Amino acid sequence: MELGVFTIGDVTTDPTTGTTPSEHEKVKNTLAIAKKAEEIGLDVFATGEHHNPPFAAPADPPVLLAYIAAQTERIKLSTATTLITTNDPVRLAQDYAYLQHLSDGRTDLMMGRGNTGPVYPWFGKDIRAGIALAIENYNLLYRLWREKDLDWEGNYRTPLNGFTVAPFPLDDVAPFVWHGSIRSPEIAEQAAYYGDGFFHNNIFWPASHTARMVKLYRQRYEYYGHGRADQAFVGLGGQVFMAKNSQDAVNTFRPYFDNAPVYGHGPSLEDFTAQTPLTVGSPQQVIERYLGMREWAGDYQRLLFLIDHAGLPLKTVLEQMDILGEEVVPVLRKEMDAARPTDVPDAPTHEWLKERRENGEAPVPGGAPTSRAFRDRQDRAEREAAKKAAEEKAAAEKATKGEED
């Protein structure tokens, strides 16, 4: 189970002090959060991608992530959004392969279409072609990381003739990709087709909606032959604010919630926490809420908390991270790992992907993994499950017979 934090880099006025951080302060605060994430034992730090105010998130995330990689040793560095629609896939392939080398494989990506309409024309794109751009651009990126001397032609960029990405991905293994979507079933389908991960950033959505999207992805993942539905790679978003006393958490967070640009002046804090994953209360309440997501999402491999939003000052953010690291993450990790069946994989690492490729198990788009060893393990797991079911049935019949006698 991977647990981590992500930032969207919003520059928001603190409603309790009237203080607005400068863009420079926000950038430096992001570095402090990333280093704190490793210090407290989190697995992932992720950053959004933005090209407009009021955000100070990087327009080019590899710049930030490479800087963080040089100052950390263990934590995985991810994007909370890489705009697959408005970025050139060739540039993405080169930049993130370079980051992968710099970080010794501690790199993955979460692809998204973006929800800021003006960004599309800024980069010469049409938002009405958002889905088509996401599909075509990712297909090219996927191939660039796996094929050399590539010939390619599409609808949204100039053709390529004999092109090879330099540097090529580390160990000839592409970074793992999560496809992020809130409401587009086409993106869940795309993630399933390639055997990639599906991240539903459900921080503004009810469980019923997220459950439908996750179910669709799982069903299609199995349909395309990458494994059973419960073996698919699922990630979820989270929002929390904690204090030892739950009412203290509510009282402290309420002014931030009520005035936040993203959800202020709308539903009440109580209504929003009832309908979405936002949990404001004690660490135990957070633990119970996020463990309970297994009931409708299944065994999921990645959970990222939005940590620095709504104008929260850096001091408060770091205090919240201390609570996460000391009281919440160890319990969530232990309980989630213990509950997950042994044949449901962990979140992918570079070494796992490398081993999988060397064993001939790497998934192919829209088809089953190629190795016989993978299929043998699947068959063995199915035989063991059938044997266990037969033993349980025999034991039940024996018990019933004993009662009758």
Instruction: Report how far residue 27's alpha carbon sits from residue 42's, in angstroms, rounded to the nearest whole number.
Output: 20
Instruction: Report how far residue 139's alpha carbon sits from residue 179's, in angstroms, rounded to the nearest whole number.
Output: 13
- Residue 402 pLDDT grade (very low, low, confident, very high; cuts 50, 70, 90): low
pLDDT digits (tens, 9 = 90+) for 107-126: 999 998 876 678 888 888 88
Does the pLDDT value for residue 50 go beyond 50? yes
198, 231: one domain: yes
150, 253: one domain: yes
**Domain count within the chain:** 2
- Residue 375 pLDDT grade (very low, low, confident, very high; cuts 50, 70, 90): very low
- Cα 170 versus chain centre, distance: 21
- Mean pLDDT over 134-151 rounds to 96
With the CA atoms of 162, 166, 168 and 174 taken in that order, what torsion angle do they form, in degrees rounded to the nearest 10?
-90
41, 182: one domain: yes
What are the structure tokens assigned to 74, written together?
């263990």
Q: Which residue has the higher pLDDT, 202 or 5?
A: 5
Q: How many CB atoms lie within 10 A of CB 245?
A: 10
Q: Which residue, among 278, 273, 287, has the nearest Cα to 324 in the 3D structure?
A: 287
Contacts of 19 by beta carbon, 8 Å cutoff, 6+ apart: 13, 313
What are the structure tokens assigned to 335, written together?
């309980």
- Mean pLDDT over 15-21 rounds to 95
Does the pLDDT value for residue 386 go beyond 90? no
Residue 382: C-alpha distances to residues 249, 375, 389, 392 (Å): 47, 11, 11, 15
Instruction: Report how far residue 305's alpha carbon sits from residue 238's, in angstroms, rounded to the nearest whole number.
Output: 4
- Residue 17 pLDDT grade (very low, low, confident, very high; cuts 50, 70, 90): very high
Task: Provide the residue range defining the domain that includes 382.
Answer: 371-405
Instruction: Report how far residue 70's alpha carbon sits from residue 296's, in angstroms, rounded to the nearest whole number.
Output: 39
For residue 201, the model assigns a pLDDT of 86
CATH of the domain at 266: 3.20.20.30
For residue 130, the model assigns a pLDDT of 86
Residue 67 and residue 20 in contact, taking contact as beta carbons nearer than 8 Å: no
With the CA atoms of 278, 184, 88 and 145 taken in that order, what torsion angle do they form, in degrees rounded to the nearest 10?
90
- Mean pLDDT over 127-139 rounds to 90
For residue 91, the model assigns a pLDDT of 96
382, 233: one domain: no
For residue 393, the model assigns a pLDDT of 77
391, 245: one domain: no
- Mean pLDDT over 215-231 rounds to 96
Does the pLDDT value for residue 370 go beyond 60? no
pLDDT digits (tens, 9 = 90+) for 262-281: 787 889 999 999 999 999 99
3 state SS of 70: coil
With the CA atoms of 361, 363, 366 and 367 taken in that order, what torsion angle do they form, in degrees rounded to the nearest 10?
0
- Mean pLDDT over 135-140 rounds to 95
222, 239: one domain: yes
From the CA atom positions of the chain, what is the Rg in Å?
22
Mean pLDDT computed over every residue of the chain: 90
- Mean pLDDT over 133-150 rounds to 96
375, 353: one domain: no
For residue 366, the model assigns a pLDDT of 87
For residue 371, the model assigns a pLDDT of 42
- Mean pLDDT over 209-213 rounds to 94
For residue 403, the model assigns a pLDDT of 61
Instruction: Report how far residue 201's alpha carbon sits from residue 232's, in angstroms, rounded to the nearest whole number.
Output: 17
354, 401: one domain: no
For residue 376, the model assigns a pLDDT of 52
41, 160: one domain: yes
Instruction: Report how far residue 44's alpha carbon sits from residue 38's, in angstroms, rounded to the nearest whole number.
Output: 8
- Mean pLDDT over 9-32 rounds to 94
25, 138: one domain: yes
pLDDT digits (tens, 9 = 90+) for 335-360: 999 999 999 999 999 999 999 999 98
- Mean pLDDT over 206-214 rounds to 94
Q: How many CB atoms lie within 10 A of CB 98?
A: 18
- Mean pLDDT over 125-139 rounds to 90
131, 182: one domain: yes
- Cα 353 versus chain centre, distance: 17
pLDDT digits (tens, 9 = 90+) for 232-249: 999 999 999 999 999 999
255, 399: one domain: no
- Residue 226 pLDDT grade (very low, low, confident, very high; cuts 50, 70, 90): very high
Does the pLDDT value for residue 368 go beyond 70? no
Counting residues of the chain whose pLDDT is more than 90, the rounded percentage is 74
